[in-house]
Amino acid sequence: MTKNLVIVESPAKAKTIEKYLGKDYSVLSSVGHVRSIAKKTASKTPPVDVNNNFETTYEIDPEKRKVIAELKKAVKNSDEVWLATDDDREGEAIAWHLTEVLGLDAKKTKRIVFNEITKQAIEEAIKNPRTIDFNLVRAQQARQILDRLVGFELSPVVWQKVPGGKSAGRVQSPAVRLLVEREREIQQFESESSYKINATFLNDNNETINAEFNQKPTSEEDANNILTTIAENNFTVSDVKKTDGKRNPPAPFTTSTLQQTANNTLGFSARATMSSAQKLYQEGKITYMRTDSVHLSGQAINGIQSYINNNFGEKYSQVRQFKTKSANAQEAHEAIRPTDISASVASSNPYDQKLYTLIRNRTLASQMASAVTEKTTVTINGDNLPNNNYFEAKGEVIVFDGFLKVYGSKQDDTILPPISSGMALRFSEAIAKQVFSRPPARFTEGSLVKKLEELGIGRPSTYATILGNIQLRGYAEKGEGEGNEREIKQLTVSAENTTPALEIITEKTGDNKGKLLPTPSGELISAFLT
């Protein structure tokens, strides 16, 4: 006879929790959801009866029957049952479904939640049990019913009417439509060319100053004329503006921003990111990875502040509490952070470790001082240039690195040599390079997640699945092309050769490697649904 039976979602999590709770507790897993809305019912009543207050018929998933049988047996041999599924709407719904299939009293069965799998968090949860929150259960039911109503109504139509159409969905279909509409924008875009002029000047110490001309001529003839004028000019620094600036650290990660950043910086797909994060969470290395909150607990902030003070010095520490912008955010969780900020290594798997380092550095940065910068803008005029034409050189020096010590670029963007107003400069070289206006960028997984979030479509927990499904079902695919070469014109003058010299060079354009592209099937189904 077991005194206490704890039921969690994940088998990997079960082992870790059982280790913390000791011999009086047995921990088993439901292996995720155990029941779903039935695809059809024996009676004529639909699985979701829209005419009867959306009365819903559930059925045990066939692959979970063995799991349920084992859990029922364990419940009979236990004095107390604790439901420890995840602390979100899905987790609350799983807890309720377990009470239904295991014959437990939902209003009396102990429900515990925790945001991290650590001994302290588990013991604290055991001390403060509650019962099932039916508001959260109904919120999950409403979302799932909407999914099914859209999917069940639209998918059969798609199967019949669209060749190759496999399904439609409340989130999936808008995601495909975004890809299709962006592709149309790109196809309809008419590129225009102009000439970007950059020049190199030298001061009395032969130090280089690179500057950009403030006009972009649209024809080769105009570019030639401007270069000729530039080569025959004397140049003077007319103005030097220095402004103090600062860069503030970003907020700690939410599910969405973690997916976006991991995609942009590590090249991880949303699915790969969530898989690594899930493992780190189950091993007790990070807090719960499905969250749209940027909040950090007071205990976490104290630990982070102590670490920063001890390792970087007090001048690097600045306590911050961020607020979630999304009106739909669930604030029950914290942001994604390490459970132990002092641990720099969390996994022997290189992919999991890279993600952990990203999470850890972002968390540290969020509680560090702003970086202090000095920005310099230099205006350079020529004796014979029209009044509205000039060159501008920009530089920025990092005066105090602050959070950049652990997160972001530490390099100076451009360090300008000592320069003052009225200083004469020697012209060295100028290049007018033909440039083309660019169409809107294709979506990556990261930028599509950001767009869906901006539009209020989907939830942090579903983005990885949605992006995986639209590719699995053949509605979108990752691009592999590195672009096509095109010829561009480049004109050059120098102090020695004042007549512009024309050179034809090539550059790559249209690189779609790693970008999400709609397939013909995706375009067809999107047009049909629209």
Per-residue HEC secondary structure of 465-476 comes to HHHHHHHHCCCE
Active site annotation includes 288: yes
The token pair at 93 is: 């719904």
Crossing angle, helix 463-472 and helix 270-282, to 10 degrees? 140
| Distance separating alpha carbons of residues 529 and 400, to the nearest angstrom | 54
| Distance separating alpha carbons of residues 469 and 505, to the nearest angstrom | 42
Q: Which residues of 492-527 are buried (b: 16+ CB within 10 A; e: fewer)?
A: bbeeeeeebeeeeeeeeeeebeebbbbbebbbbbbe
Residue 16, sorted as left (phi over 0), alpha (psi -120 to 50) or beta, turns out to be alpha
The rounded Cα 178 to chain-centroid distance in angstroms is 17
| Cβ(398)–Cβ(412) below 8 Å | yes
Looking at residue 71, its amino acid is L
DSSP 187-211: HH----EEEEEEEEEE-TT--EEEE
Partners of 490 in the beta sheet? 433, 503
Give the length of the chain: 530
| Distance separating alpha carbons of residues 64 and 36, to the nearest angstrom | 11
Of residues 195, 281, 288, 463, which has the active-site annotation?
Answer: 288
| 411 contacts: CB under 8 Å, gap ≥ 6 | none
The token pair at 406 is: 């652990």
- What is the CA angle 273-516-290, rounded to 5? 25
| 183 contacts: CB under 8 Å, gap ≥ 6 | 442, 517, 518, 523
Which residues form the catalytic set?
288
